[in-house]
């Protein structure tokens, strides 16, 4: 698995985001039956100000958020609750470029504190969440949300982490 990380906020490097992202995304892909080594993700490690700008530009919401995802391809299922389409390489044998994820320091830190969770556990959950978005999972429709949350809980349990929705 290749994760290209742009550290705009040095606190992410100090916190070991590279290791957390690699573990979370590798486990997500493996859990879904995909070869982690055949996939690529770009990750922006930023602050609240940067993610607020991205959130405004792409979602029309002028506030910071914890994580944003931009899949390379729309893999979403047509029917609510169905599994998304599998990602395919553009060129046979080439890595599958899944897309981009951005994660914001201050919001993640604040949420972890408010929820009484270890910071690394919260970030790992958000990386699993972002990776699932790149793979076509979403939580807008009710059955899609239940499917996505169930998969997140299974993956986090494999990593020894508590159910974030409990």
CA 86 to chain CA centroid, nearest Å = 17
Flag whether 129 is marked binding: yes
In contact, 102 and 56? CB cutoff 8 Å: no
Torsional sign, CA 79, 97, 59, 125 = positive
In contact, 156 and 109? CB cutoff 8 Å: no
Smallest CA-to-CA distance from 24 within 82, 108, 80 is with 108
d(CA 151, CA 135): 12
Extract the annotated binding site for Zn(2+): 129, 133, 139
State the binding site: 129, 133, 139
């Amino acid at each position: 698995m290749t994760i290209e990380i742009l550290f705009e906020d040095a606190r992410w490097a100090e916190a070991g985001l590279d290791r957390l992202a690699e573990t979370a995304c590798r486990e997500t892909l493996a859990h879904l039956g995909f070869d982690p080594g055949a996939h690529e993700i770009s990750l922006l490690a930023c602050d609240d100000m940067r993610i607020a700008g991205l959130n405004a530009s792409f979602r029309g919401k002028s506030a910071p958020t914890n994580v944003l995802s931009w899949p390379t391809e729309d893999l979403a299922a047509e029917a609510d609750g169905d599994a998304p389409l599998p990602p395919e390489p553009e060129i046979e044998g080439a890595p599958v470029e899944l897309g981009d994820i951005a994660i914001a320091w201050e919001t993640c830190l604040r949420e972890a504190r408010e929820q009484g969770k270890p910071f690394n556990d919260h970030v790992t959950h958000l990386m699993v969440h972002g990776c699932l978005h790149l793979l076509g999972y979403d939580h807008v429709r009710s059955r899609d949300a239940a499917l996505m949350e169930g998969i997140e809980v299974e993956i986090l349990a494999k990593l020894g982490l508590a159910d974030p929705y409990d």
